[in-house]
């Protein structure tokens, strides 16, 4: 049975849009990614591959290419899929990303999911910048990550449900 402590990261996770410059250590990112891959996926394929960008030079190239704000995050995570079940690509990605964000919160690392407008003509360039092989499907979302330099209060959300 879940305890209150088990659910702390779930109830306190917030989208962070202002980060400290301190990078997230690779060892900690590995622990967070280990929780991301525990997400369910269509037919249990676990099709994810994560590209963790923390090099300032690569971050600059990615930000220039995507023209999307990354809120000063010292780490960006992109996900590709290898042999996914057709039609389930976004579901598989969303489930892994939610696990990743909740795990990050458990380690006091902030995150915000970034939606991109590709596949477009920028996709091949972004794949080249990240070193993504042609056979991998680059998903149109990334995650900005780092140590929060802001605090967001937990909103009072109402449950809307119909029980039959």
More confident residue, 4 or 116: 116
- The mean per-residue pLDDT over the stretch 44-67 comes to 91
For residue 129, pLDDT beyond 60:
yes
* Cα 133 to Cα 53: distance, rounded to the nearest angstrom: 16
Q: What is the pLDDT of residue 3?
A: 58
* Cα 150 to Cα 145: distance, rounded to the nearest angstrom: 13
DSSP string, 123-140: HHHHHHHHT--TTSEEEE
Beta-bridge partners for 81: 48, 137
Q: What is the pLDDT of residue 149?
A: 92
For residue 4, pLDDT beyond 60:
no
| Residue 154 pLDDT grade (very low, low, confident, very high; cuts 50, 70, 90) | confident
For residue 138, pLDDT beyond 60:
yes
* Cα 146 to Cα 150: distance, rounded to the nearest angstrom: 11
Q: What is the pLDDT of residue 125?
A: 85
For residue 90, pLDDT beyond 70:
yes
Q: What is the pLDDT of residue 118?
A: 57
- Provide φ and ψ at 75, rounded to 5°: -140, 135
For residue 48, pLDDT beyond 80:
yes
Q: What is the pLDDT of residue 147?
A: 96
Q: What is the pLDDT of residue 5?
A: 56
97 CA to centre of own chain: 5
| Residue 123 pLDDT grade (very low, low, confident, very high; cuts 50, 70, 90) | confident
- Provide φ and ψ at 114, rounded to 5°: -110, 125
Q: What is the pLDDT of residue 21?
A: 94
* Cα 39 to Cα 8: distance, rounded to the nearest angstrom: 18
Strand order in the sheet with 48-53: 48-53, 75-81, 137-146, 110-115
Q: What is the pLDDT of residue 117?
A: 65
Q: What beta strand segments (E) does 7-123 contain?
A: 48-53, 75-81, 110-115
* Cα 155 to Cα 164: distance, rounded to the nearest angstrom: 28
- pTM assigned to the model: 0.89
For residue 50, pLDDT beyond 80:
yes
């Amino acid at each position: 049975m879940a305890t209150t402590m088990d659910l702390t990261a779930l109830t306190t996770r917030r989208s962070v849009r202002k980060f400290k410059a301190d990078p997230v250590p690779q060892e900690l990112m590995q622990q967070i990614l280990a929780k991301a891959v525990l997400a369910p996926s269509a037919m249990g394929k676990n099709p994810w591959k994560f590209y963790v960008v923390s090099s300032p030079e690569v971050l600059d190239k990615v930000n220039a290419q995507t023209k999307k704000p990354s809120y000063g995050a010292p780490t960006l995570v992109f996900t590709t899929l290898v042999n996914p079940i057709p039609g389930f690509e976004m579901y598989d990605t969303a489930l892994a990303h939610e696990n990743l964000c909740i795990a990050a919160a458990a380690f006091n690392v902030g995150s915000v999911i970034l939606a991109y407008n590709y596949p477009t003509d920028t996709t091949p360039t972004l794949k080249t910048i990240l070193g993504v092989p042609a056979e991998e499907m680059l998903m149109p979302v990334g995650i900005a990550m780092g140590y929060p330099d802001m605090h967001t209060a937990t909103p009072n959300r109402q449950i809307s449900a119909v029980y039959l």
